[in-house]
Structure 1
């Protein structure tokens, strides 16, 4: 499974990446919109883990581009704010499959990636 992490906190992104790689996933990590768009322009991805608040650019712009370029890719949004806490992220980003606090244990995040990134050859991505 191919995972892209969009996170500007190097320590947090590194923690997630280590857990995902130990679970056998191929993980790349970027910190901003420009690098995320460049990555998505060149490489396939099954799941994107993305902080809703990134240092440079817009997470929603990345989600929009991903829905165009990789329509089967699922996005797990993470945040440490209450923005979108009403669940409206799912109506704003059609490819959103989860919305988690940044303090979610890495093992739980890995389980979410495994669940939402699992694809059946004939059915597309697992339902949300």
Structure 2
């Protein structure tokens, strides 16, 4: 299973990456919008863990690009803010499948990745 982590904080991305690789997932990491778009083109991930607040770029632009270039990719948005806490992210990103806090335990995040990778995207119609 191919997973792309898009996270500006390298230490957090590393923690998530290690947990996913322990489950034999093929994991790529990007820290910017530009890196993320290249990784989407190269890997066509099944699931993307995407920090809503990127230091260099726009998470919504990354999500939109994935929706166009790799429509099967499902996005788990993570954040450490209350922005979109009303659930409206699902109205803005058609490939959003989950929205969690950055402090979510890595094992729980890995379980979510496994779950969503095994399901067909809800937005296919």
Q: Deviations over 1:22-73 (max 9, x none)?
A: 0110000010000001111222210000100011010000000000011111
Unaligned runs of 5+ in 2: none
Specify the alignment match of 2:35 in structure 1.
35
Q: Which structure 1 residue ranges, 5 or more long, are not aligned?
A: 120-124
Of stretches 42-51 and 13-22 in structure 1, the one that deviates more from structure 2 is 42-51
CA contact (8 A) 1:77 1:96 kept: yes
- Aligned counterparts, 1:1-128, within 5 A: 1-119=1-119, 125=120, 127=122
Q: For 2:27 and 2:50, how far apart are their aligned partners in 1?
A: 13
Q: How many residues were matched structurally?
A: 123
RMSD in angstroms over aligned alpha carbons?
A: 1.2
TM-score (norm 2): 0.95
Runs of 4+ that moved beyond 6 A: none
